[in-house]
Amino acid sequence: MTDTPVLDIRGVGKAFPNVRALSNLSFDVRRGEVMAFVGENGAGKSTLLKILSGDYRLDEGTVLLDGQEVSHANPLAARRAGFRLVRQEPEIVPHVSAAENIFVGELPQRGGVVDFKQLRAEAKALLVECGFDGLLDLDAQGDSFSPAQRHIVEIARALKPGVKVIAFDEPTSSLTADETERLFALIRKLRARGLAVIYVTHRLHEVMAISDRIVILRDGRLIGVKETTATTPDDVVRMMVGRDLSYGFSRAETTRDEVVLEVRGLKSRWHRDISFQIRAGEILGFAGLVGAGRTELAKVIFGEYHRSAGEIRIAGKPAHIRSPSDAIRASIGFAPEDRKGEGLILVRSVMENASMAVFSSLARWGVLRNRIMVETVEPLIKSLEIKTPSLEQEVGKLSGGNQQKVVLARWLAAKPKVLILDEPTRAVDVGAKAEIYRLIDSLAQSGIAIMLISSEMPELLALADRIVVMHGGTISTPIEKHDASEEVILNHALGQRAA
Amino acid sequence: MTNMTNSSIQPTSSSNPLKAITRFVGAENLSLIIALVLLVALIASQTPFFFAPRNLMNIGMNLSVVGLLGVGMTIVIVSGALDISVGSIAGVASVVSAMLVTYVGTVLGGVAMGVLAGAILGVVNAAIITYLRVNAVVATLATLSAYRGLAFLIAPEGRPIGVLDQNFAWLGSGRILEGGGFPGVPVSLILLIIIAAIGHFVMSSTVFGRSVYSMGGNPAAARLAGINLNRMKFYIFTISGALAGLAGVLVTARTSSGQPASGTQGLELEAITAVFLGGAILAGGKGTIVGTMLAVVLLATLSNGMNLLGIPTFYQLVAKGFLLVVAVAIGQWRMARAEKAQARAAAATGS
More confident residue, A111 or A192: A192
Tell me, what's the pLDDT at A494? 66
Distance separating alpha carbons of residues B270 and B244, to the nearest angstrom: 13
The domain in which residue B320 lies consists of 51-348
In which band, very low, low, confident or very high, does the pLDDT at A249 lie, cut at 50, 70 and 90?
Answer: low
| 3-state secondary structure at position B225 | coil
Residue contact A341–B211, C-beta within 8 A: no
Q: Are A406 and A430 in contact (CB under 8 A)?
A: no
Q: Are B268 and B86 in contact (CB under 8 A)?
A: yes
More confident residue, A16 or A499: A16
Q: Which of B2, B208, B285 sits opposite A366 (nearest CB)?
A: B208
| Range A261-285 average pLDDT | 93
Tell me, what's the pLDDT at A20? 65
Inside any domain, residue B83 = yes
User: Per-residue pLDDT for chain B (351 aa), expressed as one digit of tens each?
Assistant: 334 433 333 444 445 777 777 777 676 778 888 888 999 999 999 888 888 888 888 888 889 999 999 999 999 999 999 999 999 999 999 999 999 999 998 899 999 999 999 999 999 999 999 999 999 999 999 999 999 999 999 998 888 899 888 888 998 888 888 777 777 888 999 999 999 999 999 999 999 999 999 999 999 999 999 999 999 999 999 999 999 999 999 999 988 899 888 888 889 999 999 999 998 988 899 999 999 999 999 999 999 999 999 999 899 889 888 888 988 888 888 777 776 766 665 555 443
Q: Which of A41, A302, A342 sits opposite B350 (nearest CB)?
A: A41
- Which residues in A lie closer than 8 A to residue B228 (C-beta atoms)? 323, 325
Phi, psi of A68 (to 5 degrees): -100, 135
The distance between the two most distant Cα atoms of chain A, rounded to a whole number of Å, is 73
Inside any domain, residue B29 = no
Tell me, what's the pLDDT at B48? 87
B10 min Cα distance to partner chain A (Å) = 7
More confident residue, A143 or A449: A449
**Strand A332-335 relative to strand A418-422, pairing:** parallel
Inside any domain, residue B3 = no
Residue A194 Rama label (left phi>0; alpha psi -120 to 50; beta): left
Helices (H), chain B: 17-25, 30-46, 53-78, 86-99, 107-130, 136-154, 166-173, 187-205, 207-217, 219-224, 229-255, 267-277, 289-308, 313-348
Pick from A119, A89, A174: nearest CA to A426: A174
First to last CA, chain B: 14
Tell me, what's the pLDDT at A290? 67
By CA distance, what is A327's nearest residue in B?
A: B226
By CA distance, what is A39's nearest residue in B?
A: B350
- Which residues in A lie closer than 8 A to residue B214 (C-beta atoms)? 345, 348, 352, 356
Distance separating alpha carbons of residues A334 and B226, to the nearest angstrom: 10
Mean pLDDT lowest for which of A167-176, A216-225, A274-283, B225-234? A167-176
Residue contact A368–B2, C-beta within 8 A: no
Residue contact A359–B286, C-beta within 8 A: no
In which band, very low, low, confident or very high, does the pLDDT at A8 lie, cut at 50, 70 and 90?
Answer: very high
| All residues at 6 or more sequence positions from B226 whose CB lies less than 8 Å from its CB, including other chains | A324, A325, A327, A328, A329, A356, A357
Inside any domain, residue B219 = yes
> pLDDT, tens digit, for every residue of A138-172?
888 888 888 778 888 998 999 888 899 999 998 88
Q: Which of B2, B221, B226 sits opposite A342 (nearest CB)?
A: B221
| Range A261-289 average pLDDT | 92
Tell me, what's the pLDDT at B264? 83
Tell me, what's the pLDDT at A199? 95
Q: For residue B177, give the DSSP letter.
A: S
First to last CA, chain A: 37
More confident residue, A456 or A337: A337
Mean pLDDT lowest for which of A214-223, A426-435, B121-130? A426-435
Distance separating alpha carbons of residues B192 and B129, to the nearest angstrom: 28
Delimiting residues of CATH 3.40.50.300 domain(s) in chain A: 5-92+145-241, 259-493
| 3-state secondary structure at position B223 | helix
Distance separating alpha carbons of residues A425 and A436, to the nearest angstrom: 7
Number of domains in chain B: 1
CA A309 to chain centre: 31
Tell me, what's the pLDDT at B10? 40
B3 min Cα distance to partner chain A (Å) = 6
Q: How many CB atoms lie within 10 A of CB A18?
A: 13
By CA distance, what is A337's nearest residue in B?
A: B221
Query: Quick check: A443 pLDDT over 60?
Result: yes
By CA distance, what is B1's nearest residue in A?
A: A431
B240 min Cα distance to partner chain A (Å) = 19
Q: For residue B104, give the DSSP letter.
A: I
Query: Alpha-carbon dihedral of residues B247, B251, B253, B254, nearest 10 degrees?
Result: 130
> pLDDT, tens digit, for every residue of B204-236?
999 999 999 999 999 999 999 999 999 999 999
- Which residues in A lie closer than 8 A to residue B221 (C-beta atoms)? 341-345
Tell me, what's the pLDDT at A298? 95
Distance separating alpha carbons of residues A357 and A322, to the nearest angstrom: 17
B80 min Cα distance to partner chain A (Å) = 13
Q: Are B279 and B27 in contact (CB under 8 A)?
A: no
Q: Are A215 and A197 in contact (CB under 8 A)?
A: no
Tell me, what's the pLDDT at B324? 87
B78 min Cα distance to partner chain A (Å) = 12
Phi, psi of B78 (to 5 degrees): -60, -35
* A138 CB-contact burial (10 Å; exposed 0-12 / middle 13-18 / buried 19+): middle
| All residues at 6 or more sequence positions from A205 whose CB lies less than 8 Å from its CB, including other chains | A233, A458
Q: Which of A43, A347, A366 sits opposite B207 (nearest CB)?
A: A366
Quote the mean pLDDT of chain A: 86
Distance separating alpha carbons of residues A99 and A170, to the nearest angstrom: 24
- Which residues in B lie closer than 8 A to residue A322 (C-beta atoms)? none
Distance separating alpha carbons of residues A151 and A174, to the nearest angstrom: 8
Pick from A283, A280, A329: nearest CA to A462: A283
Among the four given CATH numbers 3.40.50.300, 2.60.40.1930, 2.160.10.10, 3.30.1320.10, the one describing domain A5-92+145-241: 3.40.50.300
Distance separating alpha carbons of residues A348 and A341, to the nearest angstrom: 14
In which band, very low, low, confident or very high, does the pLDDT at A245 lie, cut at 50, 70 and 90?
Answer: very low
Angle formed at CA B300 by CA B297 and CA B306, multiple of 5 degrees: 140
**Strand A259-267 relative to strand A274-279, pairing:** antiparallel
As its CATH architecture, domain A259-493 has: 3-Layer(aba) Sandwich (3.40)
Interface test with A, best of B78, B224, B230, B340 (most A CBs within 10 A): B224
CATH number at residue B177: 1.10.3470
